[in-house]
Structure 1
Protein backbone atom coordinates (compact mmCIF):
# COMPACT_ATOMS: atom_id res chain seq x y z
CA UNK A 1 0.00 0.00 0.00
CA UNK A 2 1.23 3.50 -0.70
CA UNK A 3 0.44 6.50 1.42
CA UNK A 4 -1.31 9.57 0.00
CA UNK A 5 1.98 11.53 0.02
CA UNK A 6 3.66 9.09 -2.36
CA UNK A 7 3.29 10.18 -6.00
CA UNK A 8 1.97 7.64 -8.48
CA UNK A 9 4.60 5.70 -10.46
CA UNK A 10 6.41 7.66 -13.11
CA UNK A 11 8.23 4.70 -14.67
CA UNK A 12 6.08 1.98 -16.26
CA UNK A 13 7.66 -1.27 -17.43
CA UNK A 14 5.91 -2.41 -20.61
CA UNK A 15 5.60 -5.61 -22.58
CA UNK A 16 3.85 -7.09 -25.58
CA UNK A 17 2.06 -10.44 -25.67
CA UNK A 18 0.93 -12.89 -28.32
CA UNK A 19 -2.27 -13.43 -26.28
CA UNK A 20 -2.55 -10.32 -24.12
CA UNK A 21 -5.98 -11.18 -22.67
CA UNK A 22 -4.75 -14.60 -21.53
CA UNK A 23 -1.60 -13.02 -20.07
CA UNK A 24 -3.70 -10.48 -18.15
CA UNK A 25 -5.79 -13.32 -16.69
CA UNK A 26 -2.64 -15.21 -15.76
CA UNK A 27 -0.89 -12.24 -14.14
CA UNK A 28 -3.95 -11.42 -12.03
CA UNK A 29 -4.68 -15.02 -11.01
CA UNK A 30 -1.14 -16.34 -10.53
CA UNK A 31 0.73 -13.32 -9.22
CA UNK A 32 -1.96 -10.99 -7.87
CA UNK A 33 -1.70 -8.02 -10.23
CA UNK A 34 -4.89 -5.96 -10.32
CA UNK A 35 -6.51 -5.07 -13.63
CA UNK A 36 -6.85 -1.28 -13.76
CA UNK A 37 -7.88 -0.75 -17.39
CA UNK A 38 -7.93 -2.70 -20.65
CA UNK A 39 -8.61 -1.02 -23.99
CA UNK A 40 -9.07 -3.08 -27.12
CA UNK A 41 -11.39 -4.93 -29.43
CA UNK A 42 -12.01 -8.67 -29.37
CA UNK A 43 -8.80 -10.48 -28.57
CA UNK A 44 -6.62 -7.46 -29.40
CA UNK A 45 -5.46 -5.34 -26.47
CA UNK A 46 -4.29 -1.88 -27.49
CA UNK A 47 -3.39 -0.83 -23.94
CA UNK A 48 -3.73 -2.43 -20.51
CA UNK A 49 -2.60 -1.27 -17.12
CA UNK A 50 -2.14 -3.72 -14.26
CA UNK A 51 -1.44 -2.39 -10.78
CA UNK A 52 0.69 -4.08 -8.15
CA UNK A 53 -0.92 -4.08 -4.67
CA UNK A 54 2.20 -2.61 -3.00
CA UNK A 55 2.49 0.16 -5.63
CA UNK A 56 3.55 0.56 -9.22
CA UNK A 57 2.49 -1.69 -12.04
CA UNK A 58 2.99 -2.62 -15.67
CA UNK A 59 1.47 -1.76 -19.01
CA UNK A 60 1.00 -4.23 -21.83
CA UNK A 61 -0.66 -4.82 -25.15
CA UNK A 62 -0.96 -7.26 -28.00
CA UNK A 63 1.96 -7.76 -30.34
CA UNK A 64 1.32 -5.98 -33.64
CA UNK A 65 2.01 -7.15 -37.15
CA UNK A 66 3.23 -3.74 -38.26
CA UNK A 67 6.80 -3.26 -39.57
CA UNK A 68 6.55 0.46 -38.73
CA UNK A 69 5.51 -0.14 -35.11
CA UNK A 70 7.69 2.26 -33.05
CA UNK A 71 7.20 0.10 -29.94
CA UNK A 72 7.91 -3.33 -31.44
CA UNK A 73 8.72 -5.36 -28.35
CA UNK A 74 9.14 -9.10 -28.77
CA UNK A 75 6.77 -11.17 -26.61
CA UNK A 76 8.51 -13.22 -23.95
CA UNK A 77 11.59 -10.99 -23.58
CA UNK A 78 10.44 -9.02 -20.52
CA UNK A 79 11.86 -9.44 -17.03
CA UNK A 80 10.99 -7.70 -13.77
CA UNK A 81 11.77 -7.74 -10.07
CA UNK A 82 8.61 -7.23 -8.02
CA UNK A 83 8.53 -6.51 -4.28
CA UNK A 84 6.13 -8.66 -2.27
CA UNK A 85 5.61 -9.29 1.43
CA UNK A 86 4.77 -13.01 1.73
CA UNK A 87 7.02 -14.77 -0.79
CA UNK A 88 6.11 -18.29 0.26
CA UNK A 89 2.36 -17.66 -0.08
CA UNK A 90 2.85 -15.90 -3.43
CA UNK A 91 5.02 -18.79 -4.63
CA UNK A 92 2.29 -21.28 -3.67
CA UNK A 93 -0.33 -19.17 -5.47
CA UNK A 94 1.81 -18.86 -8.61
CA UNK A 95 2.62 -22.58 -8.69
CA UNK A 96 -1.04 -23.53 -8.19
CA UNK A 97 -2.01 -21.25 -11.10
CA UNK A 98 0.49 -22.95 -13.41
CA UNK A 99 3.45 -20.58 -13.36
CA UNK A 100 6.68 -22.25 -14.38
CA UNK A 101 8.79 -21.99 -11.23
CA UNK A 102 12.44 -21.56 -12.20
CA UNK A 103 13.75 -21.13 -8.68
CA UNK A 104 11.94 -22.15 -5.51
CA UNK A 105 11.84 -19.65 -2.62
CA UNK A 106 15.31 -18.91 -1.29
CA UNK A 107 17.03 -16.36 0.92
CA UNK A 108 19.68 -14.16 -0.67
CA UNK A 109 22.97 -13.25 0.99
CA UNK A 110 21.55 -9.74 1.59
CA UNK A 111 18.47 -11.07 3.41
CA UNK A 112 15.77 -10.95 0.73
CA UNK A 113 13.34 -13.86 0.38
CA UNK A 114 12.85 -14.47 -3.39
CA UNK A 115 11.55 -16.86 -6.03
CA UNK A 116 11.70 -16.83 -9.83
CA UNK A 117 8.94 -17.75 -12.29
CA UNK A 118 8.17 -17.63 -16.00
CA UNK A 119 4.73 -16.71 -17.35
CA UNK A 120 3.08 -18.49 -20.31
CA UNK A 121 4.48 -15.90 -22.77
CA UNK A 122 8.04 -16.59 -21.54
CA UNK A 123 8.57 -13.44 -19.45
CA UNK A 124 10.70 -13.71 -16.31
CA UNK A 125 9.46 -12.58 -12.89
CA UNK A 126 11.52 -12.42 -9.72
CA UNK A 127 9.48 -11.73 -6.60
CA UNK A 128 11.28 -10.75 -3.43
CA UNK A 129 11.16 -8.86 -0.18
CA UNK A 130 14.09 -6.56 -1.00
CA UNK A 131 12.72 -3.03 -1.33
CA UNK A 132 15.91 -1.38 -2.56
CA UNK A 133 18.25 0.98 -0.78
CA UNK A 134 17.07 4.42 0.36
CA UNK A 135 17.87 7.23 -2.04
Structure 2
Protein backbone atom coordinates (compact mmCIF):
# COMPACT_ATOMS: atom_id res chain seq x y z
CA UNK A 1 0.00 0.00 0.00
CA UNK A 2 1.35 3.42 -0.97
CA UNK A 3 0.62 6.43 1.15
CA UNK A 4 1.01 9.84 -0.38
CA UNK A 5 0.98 13.20 1.26
CA UNK A 6 0.30 16.45 -0.49
CA UNK A 7 2.45 19.38 0.50
CA UNK A 8 1.88 22.85 -0.85
CA UNK A 9 5.22 24.14 -2.01
CA UNK A 10 4.33 27.62 -3.28
CA UNK A 11 3.21 30.26 -0.79
CA UNK A 12 2.89 33.85 -2.06
CA UNK A 13 3.92 36.30 0.64
CA UNK A 14 2.51 39.80 1.05
CA UNK A 15 3.11 42.79 3.28
CA UNK A 16 0.24 44.98 4.48
CA UNK A 17 0.30 48.29 6.36
CA UNK A 18 -2.73 47.05 8.35
CA UNK A 19 -2.25 43.30 8.25
CA UNK A 20 -5.07 42.58 10.70
CA UNK A 21 -7.57 44.49 8.53
CA UNK A 22 -6.20 42.69 5.46
CA UNK A 23 -6.80 39.32 7.10
CA UNK A 24 -10.40 40.25 7.92
CA UNK A 25 -10.96 41.46 4.34
CA UNK A 26 -9.39 38.40 2.69
CA UNK A 27 -11.46 36.04 4.82
CA UNK A 28 -14.71 37.95 4.23
CA UNK A 29 -14.27 38.92 0.58
CA UNK A 30 -12.57 35.86 -0.87
CA UNK A 31 -13.18 33.00 1.56
CA UNK A 32 -9.67 32.37 2.89
CA UNK A 33 -9.42 30.37 6.13
CA UNK A 34 -7.39 31.96 8.92
CA UNK A 35 -4.91 29.25 9.89
CA UNK A 36 -2.35 31.11 12.01
CA UNK A 37 -1.70 34.68 13.12
CA UNK A 38 1.30 35.65 15.27
CA UNK A 39 2.06 39.09 16.64
CA UNK A 40 0.87 41.49 19.28
CA UNK A 41 -1.47 44.46 19.05
CA UNK A 42 -1.78 45.81 15.52
CA UNK A 43 1.45 44.11 14.39
CA UNK A 44 1.31 40.78 12.56
CA UNK A 45 4.68 39.04 12.51
CA UNK A 46 3.35 36.12 10.45
CA UNK A 47 -0.04 34.98 9.26
CA UNK A 48 -1.10 32.03 7.17
CA UNK A 49 -4.40 32.01 5.31
CA UNK A 50 -5.52 28.78 3.68
CA UNK A 51 -7.27 28.63 0.33
CA UNK A 52 -10.24 26.18 0.33
CA UNK A 53 -8.94 24.35 -2.78
CA UNK A 54 -5.46 23.97 -1.22
CA UNK A 55 -2.43 26.10 -0.62
CA UNK A 56 -2.68 29.63 0.62
CA UNK A 57 -0.78 32.82 1.32
CA UNK A 58 1.40 34.20 4.06
CA UNK A 59 1.32 37.83 5.10
CA UNK A 60 2.40 40.23 7.76
CA UNK A 61 3.11 43.78 8.81
CA UNK A 62 6.19 45.63 7.58
CA UNK A 63 9.21 44.52 9.63
CA UNK A 64 12.83 45.63 9.37
CA UNK A 65 14.04 42.11 10.20
CA UNK A 66 12.06 40.53 7.35
CA UNK A 67 13.81 39.26 4.22
CA UNK A 68 11.03 40.86 2.15
CA UNK A 69 11.33 44.20 3.92
CA UNK A 70 11.97 45.96 0.58
CA UNK A 71 8.59 44.82 -0.75
CA UNK A 72 6.32 47.84 -0.43
CA UNK A 73 3.10 47.12 1.47
CA UNK A 74 0.08 46.59 -0.74
CA UNK A 75 1.95 45.36 -3.81
CA UNK A 76 1.66 42.05 -5.57
CA UNK A 77 -0.56 39.97 -7.77
CA UNK A 78 -1.99 36.56 -6.94
CA UNK A 79 -4.05 34.16 -9.09
CA UNK A 80 -6.36 31.64 -7.43
CA UNK A 81 -8.37 28.82 -8.97
CA UNK A 82 -12.09 28.83 -8.21
CA UNK A 83 -15.02 26.64 -9.23
CA UNK A 84 -17.62 29.44 -9.30
CA UNK A 85 -16.07 32.79 -10.26
CA UNK A 86 -19.48 34.42 -10.62
CA UNK A 87 -20.40 33.76 -6.98
CA UNK A 88 -16.96 34.86 -5.77
CA UNK A 89 -17.21 38.04 -7.86
CA UNK A 90 -20.48 38.90 -6.12
CA UNK A 91 -18.96 38.15 -2.71
CA UNK A 92 -15.88 40.27 -3.44
CA UNK A 93 -17.96 43.24 -4.64
CA UNK A 94 -20.18 43.00 -1.56
CA UNK A 95 -17.08 43.12 0.67
CA UNK A 96 -15.71 46.22 -1.05
CA UNK A 97 -13.13 44.82 -3.48
CA UNK A 98 -12.35 47.13 -6.41
CA UNK A 99 -13.03 45.27 -9.66
CA UNK A 100 -10.41 46.12 -12.29
CA UNK A 101 -11.35 43.45 -14.88
CA UNK A 102 -14.90 42.16 -14.76
CA UNK A 103 -16.08 38.62 -15.26
CA UNK A 104 -15.22 37.26 -18.68
CA UNK A 105 -14.55 34.08 -20.56
CA UNK A 106 -10.96 33.82 -21.80
CA UNK A 107 -9.86 32.30 -25.10
CA UNK A 108 -7.84 29.68 -23.16
CA UNK A 109 -10.97 28.30 -21.49
CA UNK A 110 -11.04 30.13 -18.17
CA UNK A 111 -13.75 32.31 -16.69
CA UNK A 112 -12.72 34.82 -14.10
CA UNK A 113 -12.09 38.38 -12.93
CA UNK A 114 -9.47 40.57 -11.29
CA UNK A 115 -9.88 42.95 -8.36
CA UNK A 116 -7.80 44.90 -5.87
CA UNK A 117 -7.99 44.70 -2.12
CA UNK A 118 -8.13 47.85 0.06
CA UNK A 119 -4.32 48.20 0.08
CA UNK A 120 -3.93 47.68 -3.66
CA UNK A 121 -2.87 44.03 -4.11
CA UNK A 122 -4.24 42.52 -7.32
CA UNK A 123 -6.27 39.32 -6.93
CA UNK A 124 -7.27 37.31 -10.00
CA UNK A 125 -9.72 34.44 -9.76
CA UNK A 126 -10.54 31.99 -12.51
CA UNK A 127 -11.38 28.47 -13.47
CA UNK A 128 -8.06 27.88 -15.25
CA UNK A 129 -6.07 25.42 -13.12
CA UNK A 130 -2.96 25.26 -15.31
CA UNK A 131 -1.86 23.08 -18.20
TM-score, normalised by the number of residues in structure 1: 0.90
Q: What's the CA shift for 1:69?
A: 4.2
The structure with the greater share of residues assigned to strand is 1
Q: State the 4+ residue runs in structure 1 displaced beyond 4 angstroms.
A: none
Which residue pairs with 1:106 in the alignment? 104
SS in 1 for 2:45: strand
1:71 is the counterpart of 2:68: yes
Cα shift readout 1:8-65 (whole Å, capped 9, x = no counterpart): 211211010000000000000000111000000000000000000001100000012x
Match of 1:24 in 2: 23
Q: TM-score, normalised by structure 2?
A: 0.93
Q: Which whole-Å CA distance do the structure 2 matches of 1:57 and 1:106 have between them?
A: 24
The answer for unaligned runs of 5 or more in structure 1 is: none
Gaps of 5+ in 2: none
Aligned-residue RMSD, C-alpha: 1.3
